[in-house]
Protein backbone atom coordinates (compact mmCIF):
# COMPACT_ATOMS: atom_id res chain seq x y z
CA UNK A 1 0.00 0.00 0.00
CA UNK A 2 1.22 3.54 -0.81
CA UNK A 3 2.35 4.96 2.50
CA UNK A 4 4.70 7.91 2.64
CA UNK A 5 5.78 6.78 6.11
CA UNK A 6 7.60 3.89 4.41
CA UNK A 7 9.76 6.33 2.48
CA UNK A 8 10.05 5.67 -1.25
CA UNK A 9 9.78 1.88 -1.06
CA UNK A 10 6.22 0.57 -0.85
CA UNK A 11 5.99 -3.15 0.05
CA UNK A 12 3.75 -5.50 -1.93
CA UNK A 13 2.67 -9.10 -1.55
CA UNK A 14 2.69 -11.52 -4.46
CA UNK A 15 -0.52 -13.51 -4.71
CA UNK A 16 0.01 -17.28 -5.05
CA UNK A 17 -1.66 -17.18 -8.48
CA UNK A 18 0.66 -14.45 -9.71
CA UNK A 19 4.15 -14.83 -11.13
CA UNK A 20 6.88 -12.29 -11.58
CA UNK A 21 7.64 -11.40 -15.20
CA UNK A 22 10.60 -13.25 -16.65
CA UNK A 23 11.98 -10.12 -18.33
CA UNK A 24 11.85 -6.42 -17.54
CA UNK A 25 9.29 -4.32 -19.39
CA UNK A 26 10.27 -2.88 -22.78
CA UNK A 27 9.24 0.68 -21.83
CA UNK A 28 8.37 1.98 -25.31
CA UNK A 29 5.71 -0.63 -26.09
CA UNK A 30 4.12 -2.76 -23.40
CA UNK A 31 1.00 -4.11 -21.75
CA UNK A 32 1.16 -3.25 -18.02
CA UNK A 33 1.91 -6.24 -15.81
CA UNK A 34 -0.80 -6.94 -13.18
CA UNK A 35 1.65 -5.96 -10.42
CA UNK A 36 2.22 -2.60 -12.14
CA UNK A 37 -1.52 -2.07 -12.43
CA UNK A 38 -1.90 -2.87 -8.71
CA UNK A 39 0.89 -0.43 -7.80
CA UNK A 40 -0.51 2.26 -10.10
CA UNK A 41 -3.97 1.83 -8.56
CA UNK A 42 -2.47 2.47 -5.12
CA UNK A 43 -0.77 5.64 -6.34
CA UNK A 44 -3.98 6.77 -8.05
CA UNK A 45 -5.94 6.18 -4.84
CA UNK A 46 -3.39 8.31 -2.96
CA UNK A 47 -3.61 11.09 -5.58
CA UNK A 48 -7.38 11.07 -5.30
CA UNK A 49 -7.39 11.53 -1.54
CA UNK A 50 -4.07 13.16 -0.57
CA UNK A 51 -3.75 16.47 1.27
CA UNK A 52 0.07 16.55 1.31
CA UNK A 53 0.50 18.97 -1.58
CA UNK A 54 -1.49 21.35 -3.71
CA UNK A 55 -1.39 20.86 -7.48
CA UNK A 56 -4.15 21.64 -9.95
CA UNK A 57 -4.46 18.58 -12.19
CA UNK A 58 -7.56 20.11 -13.77
CA UNK A 59 -9.83 17.40 -12.35
CA UNK A 60 -11.65 19.68 -9.92
CA UNK A 61 -13.62 22.28 -11.87
CA UNK A 62 -13.88 24.50 -8.78
CA UNK A 63 -10.13 25.01 -8.63
CA UNK A 64 -8.71 28.11 -10.24
CA UNK A 65 -5.31 28.65 -11.82
CA UNK A 66 -3.16 26.81 -14.30
CA UNK A 67 -4.27 23.23 -14.91
CA UNK A 68 -1.43 20.76 -15.58
CA UNK A 69 -1.67 17.00 -15.92
CA UNK A 70 1.33 14.83 -15.06
CA UNK A 71 2.92 11.55 -16.05
CA UNK A 72 3.55 9.18 -13.14
CA UNK A 73 5.54 5.96 -13.15
CA UNK A 74 5.68 2.85 -10.99
CA UNK A 75 8.48 0.30 -10.93
CA UNK A 76 8.15 -3.12 -9.30
CA UNK A 77 11.44 -3.88 -7.52
CA UNK A 78 12.98 -6.48 -5.29
CA UNK A 79 15.26 -5.49 -2.42
CA UNK A 80 18.59 -7.14 -1.71
CA UNK A 81 16.76 -9.10 1.02
CA UNK A 82 14.22 -10.40 -1.48
CA UNK A 83 11.33 -8.17 -0.41
CA UNK A 84 8.93 -7.21 -3.20
CA UNK A 85 7.58 -3.70 -3.53
CA UNK A 86 7.34 -0.70 -5.81
CA UNK A 87 8.74 2.77 -6.14
CA UNK A 88 6.97 5.64 -7.85
CA UNK A 89 7.93 8.91 -9.52
CA UNK A 90 6.43 11.88 -11.34
CA UNK A 91 7.76 13.69 -14.37
CA UNK A 92 9.20 17.15 -13.88
CA UNK A 93 8.05 19.09 -10.84
CA UNK A 94 4.91 18.52 -8.80
CA UNK A 95 3.36 21.35 -6.80
CA UNK A 96 6.42 23.43 -7.77
CA UNK A 97 8.63 20.95 -5.95
CA UNK A 98 11.04 18.17 -6.84
CA UNK A 99 10.45 16.38 -3.54
CA UNK A 100 7.12 14.89 -2.49
CA UNK A 101 7.12 12.33 0.32
CA UNK A 102 6.65 8.80 -0.96
CA UNK A 103 8.02 9.57 -4.44
CA UNK A 104 11.63 9.08 -5.53
CA UNK A 105 13.78 12.23 -5.80
CA UNK A 106 15.07 13.76 -9.05
CA UNK A 107 18.38 12.77 -10.61
CA UNK A 108 19.62 16.28 -9.90
CA UNK A 109 17.67 18.81 -7.86
CA UNK A 110 17.70 22.11 -9.75
CA UNK A 111 15.52 23.63 -7.00
CA UNK A 112 18.15 23.13 -4.25
CA UNK A 113 18.71 26.66 -2.96
CA UNK A 114 22.30 25.83 -1.97
CA UNK A 115 23.14 24.22 -5.31
CA UNK A 116 25.09 25.90 -8.11
CA UNK A 117 22.02 26.12 -10.33
CA UNK A 118 19.92 28.19 -7.92
CA UNK A 119 22.84 30.45 -7.07
CA UNK A 120 23.60 31.08 -10.74
CA UNK A 121 19.90 31.38 -11.49
CA UNK A 122 19.70 34.24 -9.01
CA UNK A 123 22.51 36.02 -10.84
CA UNK A 124 20.83 35.30 -14.21
CA UNK A 125 17.64 36.80 -12.85
CA UNK A 126 19.56 39.92 -11.80
CA UNK A 127 21.01 40.16 -15.32
CA UNK A 128 17.52 39.82 -16.80
CA UNK A 129 16.22 42.52 -14.48
CA UNK A 130 19.06 44.89 -15.40
CA UNK A 131 18.60 44.22 -19.11
CA UNK A 132 14.89 44.90 -18.79
CA UNK A 133 15.55 48.12 -16.85
CA UNK A 134 17.97 49.39 -19.49
CA UNK A 135 15.65 48.40 -22.33
CA UNK A 136 12.80 50.32 -20.69
CA UNK A 137 14.90 53.52 -20.56
CA UNK A 138 12.86 56.15 -22.48
CA UNK A 139 16.10 57.70 -23.75
CA UNK A 140 16.86 54.46 -25.58
CA UNK A 141 13.53 54.57 -27.41
CA UNK A 142 14.10 58.23 -28.29
CA UNK A 143 17.62 57.55 -29.55
CA UNK A 144 16.43 54.63 -31.64
CA UNK A 145 13.57 56.66 -33.13
CA UNK A 146 15.85 59.61 -33.88
CA UNK A 147 18.36 57.33 -35.62
CA UNK A 148 15.62 55.76 -37.72
CA UNK A 149 14.04 59.13 -38.58
CA UNK A 150 17.39 60.64 -39.61
CA UNK A 151 18.15 57.62 -41.77
CA UNK A 152 14.77 57.97 -43.49
CA UNK A 153 15.39 61.71 -43.88
CA UNK A 154 18.83 61.04 -45.39
CA UNK A 155 17.40 58.64 -47.95
CA UNK A 156 14.54 60.99 -48.86
CA UNK A 157 16.65 64.14 -49.18
CA UNK A 158 19.23 62.41 -51.33
CA UNK A 159 16.52 60.96 -53.53
CA UNK A 160 14.82 64.37 -53.85
CA UNK A 161 18.14 66.01 -54.68
CA UNK A 162 18.91 63.40 -57.32
CA UNK A 163 15.49 63.82 -58.90
CA UNK A 164 15.97 67.61 -59.00
CA UNK A 165 19.46 67.14 -60.44
CA UNK A 166 18.07 64.96 -63.23
CA UNK A 167 15.44 67.58 -64.00
CA UNK A 168 18.09 70.35 -64.08
CA UNK A 169 20.26 68.19 -66.33
CA UNK A 170 17.38 67.78 -68.79
CA UNK A 171 16.81 71.56 -68.77
CA UNK A 172 20.51 72.29 -69.44
CA UNK A 173 20.46 69.80 -72.30
CA UNK A 174 17.47 71.58 -73.83
CA UNK A 175 19.15 74.96 -73.37
CA UNK A 176 22.27 73.70 -75.17
CA UNK A 177 20.16 72.60 -78.14
CA UNK A 178 18.41 75.96 -78.19
CA UNK A 179 21.72 77.87 -77.88
CA UNK A 180 23.15 76.04 -80.89
CA UNK A 181 20.40 77.56 -83.00
CA UNK A 182 20.28 81.12 -81.56
CA UNK A 183 23.70 82.12 -80.23
CA UNK A 184 26.94 83.04 -81.96
CA UNK A 185 30.07 81.01 -81.30
CA UNK A 186 31.32 83.57 -78.75
CA UNK A 187 27.93 83.66 -76.97
CA UNK A 188 27.70 79.89 -76.99
CA UNK A 189 31.14 79.48 -75.42
CA UNK A 190 30.17 81.76 -72.54
CA UNK A 191 26.72 80.18 -72.18
CA UNK A 192 28.02 76.61 -72.21
CA UNK A 193 30.69 77.46 -69.62
CA UNK A 194 27.95 78.80 -67.36
CA UNK A 195 25.97 75.57 -67.77
CA UNK A 196 29.11 73.56 -67.03
CA UNK A 197 29.72 75.45 -63.81
CA UNK A 198 26.13 74.82 -62.72
CA UNK A 199 26.64 71.09 -63.32
CA UNK A 200 29.87 71.14 -61.31
CA UNK A 201 28.16 73.07 -58.51
CA UNK A 202 25.34 70.50 -58.44
CA UNK A 203 27.88 67.71 -57.88
CA UNK A 204 29.56 69.74 -55.14
CA UNK A 205 26.19 70.40 -53.47
CA UNK A 206 25.38 66.67 -53.60
CA UNK A 207 28.73 65.83 -51.99
CA UNK A 208 28.23 68.26 -49.10
CA UNK A 209 24.60 67.21 -48.67
CA UNK A 210 25.74 63.59 -48.30
CA UNK A 211 28.43 64.55 -45.78
CA UNK A 212 26.02 66.66 -43.76
CA UNK A 213 23.29 64.01 -43.66
CA UNK A 214 25.72 61.18 -42.90
CA UNK A 215 27.22 63.21 -40.04
CA UNK A 216 23.77 63.60 -38.49
CA UNK A 217 23.02 59.90 -38.85
CA UNK A 218 26.44 58.96 -37.46
CA UNK A 219 25.92 61.18 -34.42
CA UNK A 220 22.51 59.62 -33.81
CA UNK A 221 24.01 56.14 -34.27
CA UNK A 222 26.75 56.99 -31.74
CA UNK A 223 24.21 58.18 -29.18
CA UNK A 224 22.11 55.03 -29.71
CA UNK A 225 25.18 52.77 -29.47
CA UNK A 226 26.15 54.33 -26.14
CA UNK A 227 22.80 53.26 -24.76
CA UNK A 228 22.54 49.85 -26.42
CA UNK A 229 26.13 48.70 -25.85
CA UNK A 230 25.72 47.98 -22.12
CA UNK A 231 22.58 45.97 -22.92
CA UNK A 232 24.40 43.92 -25.56
CA UNK A 233 27.27 43.29 -23.16
CA UNK A 234 24.83 42.05 -20.50
CA UNK A 235 23.07 39.83 -23.05
CA UNK A 236 26.38 38.33 -24.13
CA UNK A 237 27.29 37.66 -20.49
CA UNK A 238 23.85 36.08 -19.98
CA UNK A 239 24.27 33.89 -23.05
CA UNK A 240 27.70 32.65 -21.96
CA UNK A 241 26.53 32.04 -18.40
CA UNK A 242 23.40 30.21 -19.60
CA UNK A 243 25.46 27.96 -21.88
CA UNK A 244 27.95 27.25 -19.09
CA UNK A 245 25.15 26.61 -16.61
CA UNK A 246 23.37 24.29 -19.04
CA UNK A 247 26.58 22.33 -19.57
CA UNK A 248 27.08 22.02 -15.80
CA UNK A 249 23.50 20.81 -15.36
CA UNK A 250 23.95 18.19 -18.09
CA UNK A 251 27.15 17.03 -16.40
CA UNK A 252 25.35 16.75 -13.03
CA UNK A 253 22.66 14.52 -14.50
CA UNK A 254 24.46 11.22 -13.96
CA UNK A 255 22.71 7.98 -14.88
CA UNK A 256 23.58 4.50 -13.63
CA UNK A 257 22.80 1.21 -15.32
CA UNK A 258 22.52 -2.37 -14.08
CA UNK A 259 26.24 -2.87 -14.71
CA UNK A 260 27.12 -0.01 -12.36
CA UNK A 261 28.29 2.18 -15.25
CA UNK A 262 27.70 5.92 -15.06
CA UNK A 263 27.04 8.38 -17.89
CA UNK A 264 25.97 12.01 -17.98
CA UNK A 265 23.48 13.58 -20.39
CA UNK A 266 26.20 14.91 -22.68
CA UNK A 267 27.76 11.46 -23.14
CA UNK A 268 24.38 9.83 -23.65
CA UNK A 269 23.13 12.21 -26.34
CA UNK A 270 26.34 12.98 -28.21
CA UNK A 271 25.86 9.98 -30.54
CA UNK A 272 22.18 10.69 -31.25
CA UNK A 273 20.88 12.49 -34.34
CA UNK A 274 20.22 15.55 -32.20
CA UNK A 275 23.78 15.52 -30.83
CA UNK A 276 22.88 17.22 -27.54
CA UNK A 277 20.34 16.73 -24.74
CA UNK A 278 16.86 18.10 -25.47
CA UNK A 279 15.06 20.32 -22.97
CA UNK A 280 13.94 18.54 -19.76
CA UNK A 281 15.95 15.39 -20.56
CA UNK A 282 16.29 13.28 -17.41
CA UNK A 283 13.22 14.81 -15.75
CA UNK A 284 10.77 12.08 -16.78
CA UNK A 285 9.53 9.47 -14.31
CA UNK A 286 11.30 6.45 -15.84
CA UNK A 287 14.93 7.64 -15.43
CA UNK A 288 14.17 8.69 -11.84
CA UNK A 289 12.86 5.20 -11.08
CA UNK A 290 15.87 3.41 -12.55
CA UNK A 291 18.32 5.72 -10.78
CA UNK A 292 16.70 5.24 -7.39
CA UNK A 293 16.53 1.47 -7.87
CA UNK A 294 20.23 1.20 -8.75
CA UNK A 295 21.35 3.55 -5.97
CA UNK A 296 19.47 1.41 -3.41
CA UNK A 297 20.46 -1.98 -4.85
CA UNK A 298 16.89 -2.75 -5.90
CA UNK A 299 16.35 -5.20 -8.73
CA UNK A 300 13.97 -3.73 -11.38
CA UNK A 301 11.19 -6.24 -12.16
CA UNK A 302 8.62 -4.31 -14.26
CA UNK A 303 7.52 -0.77 -14.98
CA UNK A 304 4.53 1.21 -16.22
CA UNK A 305 3.66 4.89 -16.61
CA UNK A 306 0.26 6.58 -16.49
CA UNK A 307 -1.15 10.05 -17.07
CA UNK A 308 -3.03 11.90 -14.36
CA UNK A 309 -5.09 15.01 -14.98
CA UNK A 310 -6.75 17.08 -17.65
CA UNK A 311 -5.82 16.22 -21.24
CA UNK A 312 -3.11 18.50 -22.64
CA UNK A 313 -3.85 20.82 -25.55
CA UNK A 314 -1.62 19.14 -28.12
CA UNK A 315 -0.98 15.53 -27.11
CA UNK A 316 -3.45 12.67 -26.87
CA UNK A 317 -3.31 11.91 -23.15
CA UNK A 318 -6.23 10.63 -21.11
CA UNK A 319 -6.65 10.67 -17.35
CA UNK A 320 -5.55 7.43 -15.67
CA UNK A 321 -4.41 5.72 -18.86
CA UNK A 322 -1.05 3.95 -19.27
CA UNK A 323 1.43 5.22 -21.85
CA UNK A 324 4.91 4.20 -23.03
CA UNK A 325 8.00 6.25 -22.21
CA UNK A 326 8.71 9.14 -24.55
CA UNK A 327 11.31 8.41 -27.20
CA UNK A 328 12.95 11.77 -27.84
CA UNK A 329 13.99 12.49 -24.27
CA UNK A 330 13.95 9.04 -22.66
CA UNK A 331 15.00 6.46 -25.25
CA UNK A 332 18.75 7.29 -25.28
CA UNK A 333 18.76 7.56 -21.47
CA UNK A 334 16.88 4.31 -20.89
CA UNK A 335 18.93 2.48 -23.53
CA UNK A 336 21.92 3.20 -21.28
CA UNK A 337 20.12 2.58 -17.98
CA UNK A 338 18.77 -0.82 -19.06
CA UNK A 339 22.20 -2.12 -19.98
CA UNK A 340 22.77 -5.25 -17.87
CA UNK A 341 19.04 -5.92 -17.47
CA UNK A 342 17.21 -8.75 -19.20
CA UNK A 343 14.65 -6.68 -21.10
CA UNK A 344 11.78 -7.80 -23.30
CA UNK A 345 12.52 -7.59 -27.02
CA UNK A 346 11.37 -4.54 -28.92
CA UNK A 347 8.15 -5.79 -30.54
CA UNK A 348 8.44 -3.16 -33.26
CA UNK A 349 11.53 -4.96 -34.61
CA UNK A 350 9.55 -8.15 -35.13
CA UNK A 351 6.31 -6.47 -36.25
CA UNK A 352 5.34 -6.22 -39.88
CA UNK A 353 5.92 -9.90 -40.65
CA UNK A 354 3.36 -11.28 -43.09
CA UNK A 355 4.11 -14.64 -44.64
CA UNK A 356 0.95 -15.02 -46.69
CA UNK A 357 0.18 -13.81 -50.21
CA UNK A 358 -1.25 -10.33 -50.68
CA UNK A 359 -4.97 -10.35 -51.47
CA UNK A 360 -5.41 -8.67 -54.88
CA UNK A 361 -9.12 -7.91 -55.30
CA UNK A 362 -8.89 -6.28 -58.76
CA UNK A 363 -6.30 -6.10 -61.53
CA UNK A 364 -6.17 -4.96 -65.15
CA UNK A 365 -3.41 -3.83 -67.53
CA UNK A 366 -3.10 -0.43 -65.85
CA UNK A 367 -3.65 -0.81 -62.11
CA UNK A 368 -4.52 -3.15 -59.29
CA UNK A 369 -6.26 -2.86 -55.95
CA UNK A 370 -5.17 -4.99 -52.99
CA UNK A 371 -6.26 -5.57 -49.42
CA UNK A 372 -3.29 -4.78 -47.15
CA UNK A 373 -3.20 -6.89 -43.97
CA UNK A 374 -2.86 -5.12 -40.63
CA UNK A 375 0.61 -4.87 -39.07
CA UNK A 376 2.25 -4.85 -42.49
CA UNK A 377 4.19 -1.92 -43.92
CA UNK A 378 3.14 -0.08 -47.06
CA UNK A 379 6.77 0.82 -47.80
CA UNK A 380 10.05 -0.52 -46.32
CA UNK A 381 11.04 0.77 -42.88
CA UNK A 382 14.44 1.28 -41.26
CA UNK A 383 14.75 -2.30 -40.08
CA UNK A 384 11.90 -4.09 -41.87
CA UNK A 385 12.25 -4.32 -45.65
CA UNK A 386 9.25 -6.53 -46.46
CA UNK A 387 6.31 -4.34 -47.47
CA UNK A 388 3.56 -3.88 -50.02
CA UNK A 389 5.97 -1.92 -52.21
CA UNK A 390 8.69 -4.59 -52.21
CA UNK A 391 6.08 -7.30 -52.88
CA UNK A 392 4.69 -5.28 -55.79
CA UNK A 393 8.16 -4.70 -57.22
CA UNK A 394 8.58 -8.49 -57.32
CA UNK A 395 5.05 -9.11 -58.63
CA UNK A 396 5.30 -6.42 -61.34
CA UNK A 397 8.96 -6.51 -62.51
CA UNK A 398 8.16 -4.67 -65.78
CA UNK A 399 6.09 -1.90 -64.20
CA UNK A 400 7.22 1.69 -64.51
CA UNK A 401 6.73 4.57 -62.11
CA UNK A 402 6.48 4.62 -58.29
CA UNK A 403 3.75 1.89 -58.14
CA UNK A 404 2.05 2.88 -54.85
CA UNK A 405 -0.32 5.83 -55.06
CA UNK A 406 -0.94 6.18 -51.32
CA UNK A 407 -0.08 4.49 -48.03
CA UNK A 408 -1.77 3.04 -44.99
CA UNK A 409 -0.31 2.96 -41.47
CA UNK A 410 1.34 -0.36 -40.69
CA UNK A 411 -1.42 -1.18 -38.21
CA UNK A 412 -4.25 -0.23 -40.59
CA UNK A 413 -5.68 -2.80 -42.99
CA UNK A 414 -7.59 -2.24 -46.19
CA UNK A 415 -7.54 -1.10 -49.79
CA UNK A 416 -4.38 0.13 -51.46
CA UNK A 417 -4.12 1.29 -55.06
CA UNK A 418 -1.15 0.39 -57.29
CA UNK A 419 -0.38 1.88 -60.74
CA UNK A 420 1.44 -0.31 -63.26
CA UNK A 421 2.88 2.53 -65.34
CA UNK A 422 3.92 6.13 -64.90
CA UNK A 423 1.09 7.57 -66.99
CA UNK A 424 -1.53 5.81 -64.88
CA UNK A 425 0.27 6.91 -61.72
CA UNK A 426 0.26 10.58 -62.77
CA UNK A 427 -3.41 10.46 -63.72
CA UNK A 428 -4.57 8.95 -60.43
CA UNK A 429 -2.11 11.02 -58.40
CA UNK A 430 -3.78 14.13 -59.84
CA UNK A 431 -7.11 12.79 -58.59
CA UNK A 432 -5.59 12.43 -55.11
CA UNK A 433 -4.23 15.99 -55.27
CA UNK A 434 -7.60 17.33 -56.39
CA UNK A 435 -9.30 15.25 -53.68
CA UNK A 436 -11.75 13.72 -56.12
CA UNK A 437 -10.92 10.19 -54.99
CA UNK A 438 -13.39 8.94 -52.39
CA UNK A 439 -12.19 6.84 -49.46
CA UNK A 440 -14.16 5.41 -46.60
CA UNK A 441 -12.65 3.84 -43.50
CA UNK A 442 -14.47 1.87 -40.86
CA UNK A 443 -13.30 1.93 -37.25
CA UNK A 444 -14.40 0.58 -33.89
CA UNK A 445 -14.09 3.20 -31.17
CA UNK A 446 -13.42 2.30 -27.54
CA UNK A 447 -16.57 3.88 -26.12
CA UNK A 448 -20.00 5.25 -27.02
CA UNK A 449 -20.50 8.48 -29.01
CA UNK A 450 -23.42 10.87 -28.58
CA UNK A 451 -23.03 12.66 -31.91
CA UNK A 452 -24.12 10.98 -35.14
CA UNK A 453 -22.05 12.81 -37.75
CA UNK A 454 -19.83 15.82 -38.28
CA UNK A 455 -16.43 17.11 -39.38
CA UNK A 456 -13.28 17.09 -37.24
CA UNK A 457 -10.88 19.94 -38.03
CA UNK A 458 -7.63 19.68 -36.05
CA UNK A 459 -4.26 20.67 -37.62
CA UNK A 460 -1.48 18.13 -37.07
CA UNK A 461 2.29 17.96 -36.88
CA UNK A 462 4.77 15.34 -35.73
CA UNK A 463 5.73 15.20 -32.05
CA UNK A 464 9.46 15.89 -32.38
CA UNK A 465 10.20 14.37 -28.98
CA UNK A 466 8.08 11.27 -29.50
CA UNK A 467 8.01 10.15 -33.14
CA UNK A 468 5.91 8.87 -34.83
CA UNK A 469 3.17 10.30 -32.59
CA UNK A 470 1.37 13.36 -33.92
CA UNK A 471 0.29 16.51 -32.09
CA UNK A 472 -2.57 18.93 -32.58
CA UNK A 473 -0.84 22.24 -33.31
CA UNK A 474 -2.61 25.41 -34.45
CA UNK A 475 0.66 27.29 -34.97
CA UNK A 476 2.76 24.88 -37.05
CA UNK A 477 0.35 22.04 -37.86
CA UNK A 478 -0.94 21.23 -41.35
CA UNK A 479 -4.61 21.35 -42.22
CA UNK A 480 -6.30 18.05 -41.32
CA UNK A 481 -10.01 17.37 -41.73
CA UNK A 482 -12.09 14.24 -41.29
CA UNK A 483 -15.79 13.68 -41.86
CA UNK A 484 -17.45 10.98 -39.75
CA UNK A 485 -20.73 9.10 -39.56
CA UNK A 486 -21.73 6.79 -36.71
CA UNK A 487 -22.97 3.38 -37.86
CA UNK A 488 -23.99 1.91 -34.50
CA UNK A 489 -23.25 1.92 -30.78
CA UNK A 490 -23.15 -1.55 -29.29
CA UNK A 491 -21.56 -3.16 -26.22
CA UNK A 492 -20.09 0.20 -25.20
CA UNK A 493 -18.26 0.45 -28.55
CA UNK A 494 -18.98 2.67 -31.55
CA UNK A 495 -18.71 1.50 -35.14
CA UNK A 496 -18.05 4.52 -37.30
CA UNK A 497 -17.34 5.52 -40.89
CA UNK A 498 -14.44 7.95 -41.39
CA UNK A 499 -14.00 9.96 -44.58
CA UNK A 500 -10.58 11.68 -44.69
CA UNK A 501 -10.79 15.03 -46.48
CA UNK A 502 -7.01 15.44 -46.11
CA UNK A 503 -4.40 12.72 -45.72
CA UNK A 504 -2.06 13.46 -42.80
CA UNK A 505 -0.04 10.89 -40.86
CA UNK A 506 -2.21 9.24 -38.15
CA UNK A 507 -4.98 11.72 -38.99
CA UNK A 508 -7.91 9.43 -38.30
CA UNK A 509 -6.35 8.00 -35.15
CA UNK A 510 -5.60 11.41 -33.61
CA UNK A 511 -8.88 13.00 -34.70
CA UNK A 512 -11.00 10.39 -32.94
CA UNK A 513 -8.75 10.11 -29.85
CA UNK A 514 -7.97 13.77 -29.12
CA UNK A 515 -10.18 15.48 -26.55
CA UNK A 516 -10.98 18.23 -29.07
CA UNK A 517 -11.99 15.59 -31.62
CA UNK A 518 -14.24 12.65 -30.69
CA UNK A 519 -12.32 11.98 -27.45
CA UNK A 520 -12.69 8.23 -28.04
CA UNK A 521 -9.67 6.29 -29.37
CA UNK A 522 -9.86 3.41 -31.81
CA UNK A 523 -9.89 -0.03 -30.19
CA UNK A 524 -6.35 -1.40 -30.21
CA UNK A 525 -4.63 1.90 -30.90
CA UNK A 526 -1.25 1.36 -29.23
CA UNK A 527 -0.23 5.02 -29.69
CA UNK A 528 -3.35 6.98 -28.78
CA UNK A 529 -5.44 4.40 -26.92
CA UNK A 530 -4.81 0.99 -25.41
CA UNK A 531 -3.32 -2.17 -26.88
CA UNK A 532 -5.65 -4.89 -28.16
CA UNK A 533 -5.34 -7.77 -30.63
CA UNK A 534 -5.13 -5.23 -33.50
CA UNK A 535 -5.92 -1.66 -34.50
CA UNK A 536 -9.59 -1.70 -35.45
CA UNK A 537 -9.23 0.60 -38.45
CA UNK A 538 -9.83 -0.60 -42.01
CA UNK A 539 -9.84 1.18 -45.39
CA UNK A 540 -13.11 -0.30 -46.61
CA UNK A 541 -14.04 1.46 -49.88
CA UNK A 542 -12.13 3.26 -52.63
CA UNK A 543 -13.73 5.06 -55.61
CA UNK A 544 -12.11 6.97 -58.48
CA UNK A 545 -12.18 7.59 -62.22
CA UNK A 546 -10.39 4.83 -64.14
CA UNK A 547 -7.50 6.55 -65.99
CA UNK A 548 -8.09 4.68 -69.26
CA UNK A 549 -11.71 3.60 -69.26
CA UNK A 550 -12.76 7.08 -68.09
CA UNK A 551 -15.53 5.63 -65.99
CA UNK A 552 -16.14 5.81 -62.24
CA UNK A 553 -15.05 2.62 -60.49
CA UNK A 554 -15.57 1.60 -56.89
CA UNK A 555 -14.03 -1.17 -54.80
CA UNK A 556 -14.84 -2.45 -51.34
CA UNK A 557 -13.45 -4.91 -48.86
CA UNK A 558 -15.31 -5.62 -45.63
CA UNK A 559 -13.54 -5.02 -42.33
CA UNK A 560 -12.37 -8.20 -40.56
CA UNK A 561 -13.73 -6.97 -37.23
Distance, in Å, from the CA atom of 440 to the CA atom of 454, rounded to the nearest integer, reads 14
Q: How far apart are CA 190 and CA 321, in angstroms?
A: 99
Q: pLDDT tens, position by position, for the chain (561 residues)? A: 788 877 999 999 888 778 899 999 999 999 999 999 999 999 999 999 999 999 999 999 888 889 999 999 999 999 999 999 999 999 999 999 999 999 999 999 988 888 888 888 889 999 999 999 999 999 999 999 999 999 999 999 999 999 999 999 999 999 999 988 889 888 889 999 999 999 999 999 999 999 999 999 999 999 999 999 999 999 999 999 999 999 999 999 999 999 999 999 999 999 998 899 998 999 999 999 999 999 999 999 999 999 999 999 999 999 999 999 998 899 999 999 999 999 999 887 777 788 899 999 999 999 999 999 999 999 998 778 899 999 999 999 999 999 999 999 999 999 999 999 999 999 999 999 999 999 999 999 999 999 999 999 999 999 988 888 999 999 999 999 999 999 999 999 999 999 999 999 999 999 999 999 999 999 999 999 998 889 999 999 999 999 999 999 999 999 999
> Which of 458, 464, 516, 512 has the alpha carbon at shortest distance from 485?
512
Distance between CA atoms of 281 and 293, rounded to whole angstroms?
19
How far is 54 from 51, CA to CA, in rounded Å?
7
| Under 8 Å between Cβ of 519 and 493 | no
Q: Any idea of the CA torsion for 406, 385, 466, 334, to the nearest 10 degrees?
A: 170
Distances 233 to 124, 229, 239 between C-alpha atoms, Å: 14, 6, 10
pTM of this structure: 0.81
DSSP strands (E only) in 309-433: 322-323, 359-363, 367-372, 413-419
The answer to whether residues 284 and 71 touch, using CB atoms and an 8 Å cutoff, is yes
Q: Residue 68 carries which DSSP code?
A: -
- CATH number for the segment(s) 351-556: 3.30.2350.10
Calculate ∠ Cα 14-19-23, nearest 5°.
120
Kind of pairing between the strands at 299-308 and 493-500: unpaired
The catalytic site residues sit at 409
Helix (H, G, I), strand (E, B) or coil at 331: helix
CA distance 471 to 516: 12
User: From CA 123, how far away is CA 221, in angstroms rounded?
Assistant: 31
Which residues share a beta bridge with 249? Answer: none
50 with 6: CB under 8 angstroms?
A: no
3-state secondary structure of 401: coil
In contact, 104 and 289? CB cutoff 8 Å: yes
Amino acid sequence: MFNKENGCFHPMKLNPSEALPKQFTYPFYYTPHPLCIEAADEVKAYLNSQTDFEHNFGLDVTKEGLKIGKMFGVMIVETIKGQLGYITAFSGKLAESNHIEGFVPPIYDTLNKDGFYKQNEAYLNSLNAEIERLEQNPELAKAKLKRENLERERIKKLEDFKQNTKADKRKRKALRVEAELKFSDEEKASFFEDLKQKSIQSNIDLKYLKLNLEAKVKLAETNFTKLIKPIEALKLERKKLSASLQKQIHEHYQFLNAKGENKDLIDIFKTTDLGHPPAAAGECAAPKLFQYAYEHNFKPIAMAEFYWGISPTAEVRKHGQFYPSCRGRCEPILDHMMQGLDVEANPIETAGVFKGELDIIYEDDFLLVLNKPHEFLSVPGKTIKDSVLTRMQEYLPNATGPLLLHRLDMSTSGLLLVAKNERTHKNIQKQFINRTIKKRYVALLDGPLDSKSGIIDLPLRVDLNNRPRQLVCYEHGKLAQTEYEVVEVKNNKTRIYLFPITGRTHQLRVHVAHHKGLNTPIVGDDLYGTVANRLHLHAETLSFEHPVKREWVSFSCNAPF
